[in-house]
Each structure stands twice: as C-alpha cells, then as structure tokens.
Amino acid sequence: MTQGEKRREAHVVGDASDFPEGSHRVVTVGRRQIGVFNIGGKLYGLPNVCPHQTGPLCEGRPPLGTLVSRAENGWRFEWVHDGEIAVCPWHGLEYHVPTGRCLAYPSINLRRYEVVVESGKVKVLV
Amino acid sequence: MTDTAAQTRERKEKLEDILVVDCDVHVHESPKELIPYCEMPWRVALENIKDVQEFYLDIPGFSPGTTAYEAKFPSGQEGTRMVHSPEQMREELDGIHVDIGVLFPDHFLKMPVISQIDYAAALARAYNAWLLDRWCDVDRGLLGCILACPQDPEDAAREIRRYAKEPGMVGVFLPCAGLERLWGHRQYDPIYDAAQEADLPVLLHSVTVIHPVFPFNTHGFETEFGRHICSHTFSMMANLVHMITTGVPVRYPDLRVAVTEAGISWVPFLMHKMDKEYVERRREVPFLEDKPSTYLKKMYFATQPVEEPENPADLVTMMNLYEGEDNTIFASDWPHHDFDHPAKVHQVPFTNEVRRKVFGENALRLFNIDASGNRLNL
C-alpha cells in the first residue's frame, strides 16, 4: 500500500438501495464529481470528467458493449464488454468501467475510485 | 506572423472575459414546426410526415438520411441532442460561454438533395419565415442566416432581398451537402448579387449524405468515419476551388465568404495546390488578377471541428500558414455530436490579441455587427 492510499477517506454517498445493479449515477464528494456504476453487483467509481474536452463522461447512457476486432479472430468484428463500456455523451469516447481504460487511446487510463458497501451504506474512498 | 503565447509571456485572458461569437449553432426544425409557415400544396406533404419517426438528420420526405445503410449497434453517442426553442438555446450557449450564436438548421443542411425544385424552394421559404419569427432575437444574441435554396437561385435571391433589412438576419447560408452544381456555377450569380447588395456574408456548410455528386459518392466507405471527413472537408475544398476558378471573389469584390464545419488544417494545403496550378493554367481562370491564395485568404474559416494536435501550438502554425489571424472564426456546432467546447480553442496558445480576434472580433467584421449583435449596415 502506498502512502497516498493510506490517506484515503471513506465518504458516504448513499444507501446501497440507491445503486441497484445496472444503475449509474454521479455523486459529489467535496469538489469532485464521481460516477458510480453498479455492474453485475460490483460498484465502480470513475471521475465525471472526460480528459478530451472535459465532458461529463459518467452522465451518458447506461453502459453498453462495444466492438473490437482482433487478428486471432480473423479481424472479424466482435461485441465485447457488454454492459461495461461508458460513453462520454459529448463526443463518444469509450471507457471500460472496471479498468478505467480508454478504448481509443492506450495512454489514457482514468483514475478509479474504490467504492465499498458497509452496513448498507455506499462509500467512495478518496 | 502570429506569435504564440509562450513567446510573449503575457497573462492568458479567461474565456469568461472574452467576447465569444459562435458562428455555427443549430436549431431543430421539424415538419410539424414548419407546417404553419409552409405554402400549399407542400403543407399537405408536411402534415403527412409530421408523425414519422425521426433519426438524426433523417426524416423521409424532409431530409433523406444515411441511417438506412448499416448495422445500427446501440451507442451512447447517438445524435440525440437537439435545441427546440430560443430559450433552450440561450441557456445552453450561456453554459458554454457563448455570447452570440449564429443559427443554422438541422435537417435542412441537406436541402440540396431534395429532388423537387418547387418543394425545396417552399421548404426554404418556410424555414426562413419560421427562423425569423421564432428564433432570431438580437437581445438574446441569436442571429439567423437566410437559407438560399440552390435548386431555385432566383427564389433564393428574392428571399435574401425579402430579409435584407431584418436586424435578426446577418448572413446567407449556402447548403453544400449533395449539391449538384458547385457554388461557383454561374446559375448562383443572382444569390451573390443579392447577398453583396444586402451586405450579408455567405456561409458554406456541409453535412454527411450519400449522393451521386462529388464528394458525396461515399458509398465505397464502410464507415461514417470516412464519409464524415469527405462530406465536410472535401465539399468545402471543391466549392471554394470552383468559386475561385469562376471568379466569384473577383466578380463580387465586396462579398464576404465564410466556411463552416471543416476545421482549418486543409486551408494551407488548398492555398498551395491552387497557386501551383495557377502557374501553368492562368488562362483557364482569366478572372483572377492575382494568385488564387490571395482570394482564399480573404475568406473566413470556422474552427470547428478544430484539429487537436498533440502540440496545441501546431494550430497557431497552421493558422500562420494562411495568415489566419484576421479570418479565423470560432464555431462550436452546438448541439451536434462533434461540437467543440470553446475551452478547447481557448487552450490554443494564441496571444490574447489573436484569441480575442478568433473568438469574436473577426466574426463581428464578417457579419458587420457590433458586440451586442446589432447590424451596422442597416
């Protein structure tokens, strides 16, 4: 554990029932806006700011899948990451929510906020 | 030569403190909205399609679309943003720091692909009347462009003269998507006559269509990626080459010409290609009294969709290549899918002086308006 992680504080952002499976919503922690996604029962937190033009990347439609094409599959299109791809509503940059990875730019990886449930309360660690 | 901010070391002005004239924002016109403004018998046709399902810039019998050709995977980035009222427009432009917005249509970007000449002209008349009645409002900073129907240039000229003295109308929109004869064709001279007489600039604006005419014969692409690049940028290049080679800027020396939604990086390319041709083919273009780039540099170029080079200073360099300090104008294209937030252009390391020109002062000169949107030529 790094020193930075030791300093993290848990901020209550709602009840577990506010974040049902398949939902996504933006919460405010201090001056940060954080998108909380419930994908398959697991909670993920991403910043609500797209590095491209600062769009509200967590305020788009519910996460969908996307298309990829790989040599090992003969370059055929494949539908992957179903329900795990958040798309910035401004210009469409795609992000894989569980990893924070931007599909268009390998150099962009979003900060991931750990989100936990304790005693029925959802907490974001910042 | 424009310096970059790094060379001058001045304190960068905040976006909020700069006049922002946005040369391209889009109102949402629909068959239903236009019914009261449309003449018979065409009104009947609008009533007949008023409830059909609308896709992004795609309504049968209104704006023939490209959505029919490909697999439609669900996406978080479908073109669903629309602006339905001047109140909504004002609020949303406030949200992105825009002081004055110049209004273009949504669907009627595709006006040239309507095959019935009289229907196209009737739609243009209905749109112009609706735009002035419902949207144009100097106090709100919402200023309109008269849609010039290319299928009926004589009628387009009448429309320009009809609205020539309207405070809320500041330009003439020349639609380019699917245009049969490019905007340099002599058939459009009545439009240029009327625009120059009214001291209204003409603004070219394209959009993606799949159509037999160049450069919209894009059925060879399997992607919107490919079509979108060609439909905007190549269309602008084709139209400007044609306008310059038929002498429009020489024959209409007081006509101001602006180009929207093609970015700016192609301008130096076109300038140099034309100047090279001119060396051996001047006799084909005897209207011209100087090399073609002389005329191109007098035109105005809107930033959106602004190029995003890794080194933002490259944009300053590109602008310098066409001496663009006084003829580059900001546009956001709000609310469309590829709109630019002004903050993106604000990041470009211009000097404060050039930044003020690009964000507003150049556009004031283009439209001949003051900083409150009042026309100075009435």
Segment holding B37, helix H or strand E: none
Q: Give me chain B's average pLDDT, please.
A: 95
Cβ separation of A88 and B77 shorter than 8 Å?
Answer: yes
In this predicted structure, the answer to whether residue B205 has a pLDDT above a threshold of 80 is yes
Contacts of B344 in chain A (CB under 8 A): 53
- d(CA A93, nearest CA chain B) in Å: 9
Residue of A25, A84, A89 whose CA lies nearest to B337: A89
CB atoms within 10 A of CB A64: 19
Give whichever of A102-111, B58-67, B355-364 has the largest mean pLDDT. Answer: B355-364
Torsion-angle region of B116 (φ positive above 0: left; ψ -120 to 50: alpha; else: beta)? beta
Contacts of A79 in chain B (CB under 8 A): 73
In this predicted structure, the answer to whether residue A87 has a pLDDT above a threshold of 60 is yes
> Can you say whether the dihedral through the CA atoms of B176, B180, B181, B187 is positive or negative?
negative
The Cα B203–Cα B197 span in angstroms is 16
Q: Scanning every residue of chain B, which has its alpha carbon at the shortest distance from the alpha carbon of A63?
A: B76
Structure tokens at B18: 């700069």
The Cα B161–Cα B197 span in angstroms is 9
**Strand spans (E) along B59-180:** 100-104, 142-147, 169-175
Would an 8 Å CB–CB cutoff place A87 in contact with chain B?
yes
Whether this model's ipTM surpasses 0.85 comes out as: no
Using pLDDT thresholds of 50, 70 and 90, give the confidence band for residue A80: very high
Structure tokens at B236: 């602008």
Would an 8 Å CB–CB cutoff place A92 in contact with chain B?
yes
Are B77 and A67 contacting, i.e. CB atoms less than 8 angstroms apart?
no
Would an 8 Å CB–CB cutoff place A102 in contact with chain B?
no
For residues B79-96, give the mean pLDDT.
Answer: 94
Q: Scanning every residue of chain A, which has its alpha carbon at the shortest distance from the alpha carbon of B343?
A: A53
Would an 8 Å CB–CB cutoff place B341 in contact with chain A?
yes
- d(CA B338, nearest CA chain A) in Å: 6
**Strand spans (E) along B109-261:** 142-147, 169-175, 202-205, 257-259
For residues B14-19, give the mean pLDDT.
Answer: 96
In this predicted structure, the answer to whether residue B192 has a pLDDT above a threshold of 60 is yes
For residues A70-82, give the mean pLDDT.
Answer: 92
In this predicted structure, the answer to whether residue A110 has a pLDDT above a threshold of 80 is yes
What is the distance between the terminal CA atoms of chain B, rounded to a whole angstrom?
A: 35
- The alpha carbon of residue B14 and the mean position of all alpha carbons in its chain are separated, in whole angstroms, by 27
Contacts of A53 in chain B (CB under 8 A): 340-341, 343-344
Q: Scanning every residue of chain B, which has its alpha carbon at the shortest distance from the alpha carbon of A95?
A: B76
The reported pLDDT for the residue numbered B4 is 72
Using pLDDT thresholds of 50, 70 and 90, give the confidence band for residue B69: confident
The Cα B198–Cα A73 span in angstroms is 62
Q: Which of B75, B337, B343 sits opposite A64 (nearest CB)?
A: B75
CB atoms within 10 A of CB A74: 7
Cβ separation of A67 and B75 shorter than 8 Å?
Answer: no
Burial of B192 (0-12, 13-18, 19+ CB in 10 A): buried
For residues B347-368, give the mean pLDDT.
Answer: 97
Q: Which residues contact A111 (CB under 8 A, 6 or more apart)?
A: A46, A47, A100
* DSSP 3-state percent helix, strand, coil across chain A (nearest 5): 10, 50, 45
Residue of B101, B72, B68 whose CA lies nearest to B87: B101
Would an 8 Å CB–CB cutoff place A57 in contact with chain B?
no
The reported pLDDT for the residue numbered B313 is 95
For the stretch B272-330, pLDDT in tens is 999 999 999 998 999 999 999 999 999 999 999 999 999 999 999 999 999 999 999 99
Contacts of A88 in chain B (CB under 8 A): 76-77
For the stretch B90-144, pLDDT in tens is 999 999 999 999 999 999 999 999 999 999 999 999 999 999 999 999 999 999 9
Using pLDDT thresholds of 50, 70 and 90, give the confidence band for residue A6: low
> Which phi and psi angles does B330 have, rounded to 5°?
-80, 140
Structure tokens at B201: 């600039």
Residues 58-117 of B with CB under 8 A from A: 73-77
Chain A interface, mutation test: which of B341, B346, B347, B348, most A Cβ atoms within 10 Å? B341
Give whichever of A69-83, B138-152, B214-228 has the largest mean pLDDT. Answer: B138-152
What is the distance between the terminal CA atoms of chain A, rounded to a whole angstrom?
A: 15
In this predicted structure, the answer to whether residue B218 has a pLDDT above a threshold of 80 is yes
Q: Scanning every residue of chain B, which has its alpha carbon at the shortest distance from the alpha carbon of A58?
A: B76
CB atoms within 10 A of CB A44: 22
The reported pLDDT for the residue numbered B53 is 87
- d(CA B215, nearest CA chain A) in Å: 25
Q: Which of B76, B337, B344 sits opposite A64 (nearest CB)?
A: B76
Give whichever of A48-62, B23-37, B70-84 has the largest mean pLDDT. Answer: B23-37
Strand order in the sheet with A114-118: A10-15, A121-125, A114-118
Q: Which of B73, B75, B338 sits opposite A91 (nearest CB)?
A: B338
The reported pLDDT for the residue numbered B213 is 95
Cβ separation of B73 and A87 shorter than 8 Å?
Answer: no
**B28: helix, strand or coil:** coil
The reported pLDDT for the residue numbered B73 is 83
The Cα B123–Cα B150 span in angstroms is 12
For residues B9-23, give the mean pLDDT.
Answer: 94
Using pLDDT thresholds of 50, 70 and 90, give the confidence band for residue B77: confident
The reported pLDDT for the residue numbered B80 is 77
Contacts of A55 in chain B (CB under 8 A): 341
Q: Which of A54, A67, A92 sits opposite B76 (nearest CB)?
A: A92
Contacts of A54 in chain B (CB under 8 A): 341, 343
Give start and end residues of each alpha helix (H) in B282-312: 292-296
Residue of A107, A13, A16, A15 whose CA lies nearest to A58: A13
Cβ separation of A92 and B74 shorter than 8 Å?
Answer: no
- d(CA A64, nearest CA chain B) in Å: 7
Instruction: Work out the angle between the directed axes of helices B42-49 and B117-130 (0-180°, nearest 10).
Output: 80
Torsion-angle region of B247 (φ positive above 0: left; ψ -120 to 50: alpha; else: beta)? left
